[in-house]
Structure formats: C-alpha cells, structure tokens
Amino acid sequence: MRKNEHIAQSNGYKIIAVDDEEGIVDSLSIFLKRSGYEFTGVTNPLEAIEKVKNEHFDLMILDFIMDPIHGDKVVEEIRKFNKELYILLLTGHKDLAPPLETIRKLEIQGYCEKSDKFDQLLLLIESGIKSIEQMNEIKRINIELADTYEKLEKAYLDSIQTLRYTVEAKDPYTRGHSDRVSEYSVLIGKKLGLSEEELKILRVGGLFHDIGKIGIPDSILLKDSRLTDDEYSEIKNHPSIGAHILCNAEVFKDIIPIVKHHHERFDGKGYPGKLQREDIPYFARIAAIADAFDAMTSKRTYRNSLPIDVVREEIEKNLGTQFDPELGKLFLDIIDNEYEKIEGIKEKYPAE
C-alpha cells in the first residue's frame, strides 16, 4: 500500500473496475478505498467476466475501448448470467461512447468521460449505491411478503384440509376419492403440457372439489341405497357450498371454479350453473372427467366398481354430452396407452 493511501472504514459495498490501463485502475483503487468501498481492479476484460461470475460485486466501473474485447461485449456476456449488477461505463471521449440504444439494451445504468478528477464519477457511484440500496430493500420486503404469504397459505390449507378430513371421516366413499381425482386431474394436465403453476391448481382443486359435502346431512351422505329426487337435489348443492366455504380466502381463488363447476356437463345439463361447452371453466372440465372416472371405478354401497372396458365405453359414449370431447379423447388415450399410471394412483390411494 502506498504511504499516502488512506483506507476508510468499509461501507460494505464491493466495486470492480475494469480498464486495460493499469494507471487508471491504480488511481481508482486509491480513490474508492478512501471513499470506503471494497475495491477489485482488473486490467483484462475476460478475467473480469469470470470474476463477476464467481464473486459478488455491487457495482462495476467499466472502460469502453479495451483489448481484447470492448466494454459493450463485456456487458453482453455478463448480462447472460447477471441482470442485477449496476454498471457505469467510462469513455475516453464522449464521441467514442456506444449508441444510447446499445446502452439501454445492455442495461448500462450510466456513463461518464474519463478525467483526472473523479468527482463526477463519485456522484454517479453514490447515485448507483442508492439505487442498489433501494433494490435490496425491495428484495427484502418481497422475501418477507412471500414468507408471510406462504405461512398464510399453509394456515388456510391446513384449515381446509381439516374440513376435508371431517368429510372423509363421515363419508367412506370420499376417503381416497379426492386424492385420486387430484392425481387423475394432474395426469391429464401433464398430458396437456400445462405449467407447474397450472398443475398445482389442478392438484389442490382436486383435493378440495368435494369440500362442500361438509354441508350435506349425514342421512343423505351415508345412505346405503339410491337417493330420492329430493335427496339428489340436496346433494347437488355441495359444489355451491364448497365454493362459498372457500370464497373469502384469496389463496383459493384459482380453485373455486373447479370446486363449483366440476359437475357441469358439456351439453349444459349439469349443475349448479347449467353451463355448457367453453363456458365451463377449463380446469373444471378436466376435473369432471377425473371425478366421473373415479366414481365409475370405485365401489359404492349400491354397486360394485365397473370394469375398465365398461368405463371406457361410458366415457366414449358421453364425449360431447357429459364430457369435453377433446379432453375426453385425451383421457381415453391415457387409459389405452398409459394405464399403468392410473393403476399406480389406485395403489397409492386405495378405495376402502
């Protein structure tokens, strides 16, 4: 260290300077260390790219005209893996600076001409640090909000899960049914190439699609013979009851269409809304097939489970009436060519 070089107490911010003139790097080192910054100087732009890739820096001071590559190429490479580094471009002459369009495209936050005095550069650095501080604060707040949201989401899920278990405790048929409907729905979603977020909606929607049965009298829910018309009308209320239970929680807004409309029919003869064709929410059309398939392949108090060939025939017969024809054909393809996946779900969640 030079005798006249005074290093101020570090403010915690790391700056890397890249310039193929060693004298410039040395001058910046003295100036910035005196200002309290942790400083790294590099004269080879290719080495600088590797350093940024492997170390954290808050801000980069970058010369434009360098060998073997210019500053804009350095930024281009860095932006491939780091979008957040704050970059200030130094130019020997204003007319040698890259076009404004290039500066914007590469997200270079500012530039200034080289000078024996670093006053203007220091102002730009201080401005950059303030921006970095704001960005870090926003990140911190977002992390806290995400953490709070996740905790809130878990609390809601736990509460509704308790309700689901309450339904399953009094309705033996429902036990395992919701899990299988959830898994069949996801199976269809994967076949459609849906995103992870969309698959999550199908998964959670399937788990809670029958939550409204909590509001159906036990005398109807547990009846071991066929329902009367009045009793059937009563049980047809469970989608609306379920949607009402979930409606006040923002976390469930995406699954409410599944809960409310999984008993709609493609021909408009379903319930509760008598919606038809594309008016039925897309995920509800998926859940409707999964729900009907599990109902047919599960043992009920008044009948045994139906053989798979009969179930297949029923689905095919009701394409365009009960089921969305395109989604129905896709599920038939799963039955014909990927039935081992269905069997795996049945083994994981066996009917009682």
Contact 315, 289 (CB under 8 A): yes
Nearest CA to 14 out of 85, 63, 65, 95 is that of 85
Look up 130 and say whether it is catalytic. no
Q: Which of 130, 213, 223, 260 is catalytic?
A: 213
> If DSSP codes are grouped into helix, strand and coil, which group holds residue 87?
strand
Long-range contacts of 311-315 (CB under 8 A, 24+ apart): 311/335, 312/336, 315/289
Residue 231 and residue 127: Cα distance in Å, rounded? Answer: 71
Residue 69 and residue 74: Cα distance in Å, rounded? Answer: 7
Strand locations in 54-128, DSSP E? Answer: 59-63, 86-91, 110-113
What the block records as the tokens of 139 is 């990140």
- One-letter identity of residue 27: S
Angle at 278 between CA 275 and CA 281, to 5 degrees: 70
Contact 21, 61 (CB under 8 A): no
- One-letter identity of residue 71: G
What the block records as the tokens of 158 is 């736990």
Residue 144 and residue 162: Cα distance in Å, rounded? Answer: 27
Helices and strands counted in the chain (H then E): 15, 5
Instruction: Give 112's strand partners.
Output: 90
Residue 291 and residue 178: Cα distance in Å, rounded? Answer: 8
Residues identified as active-site: 213
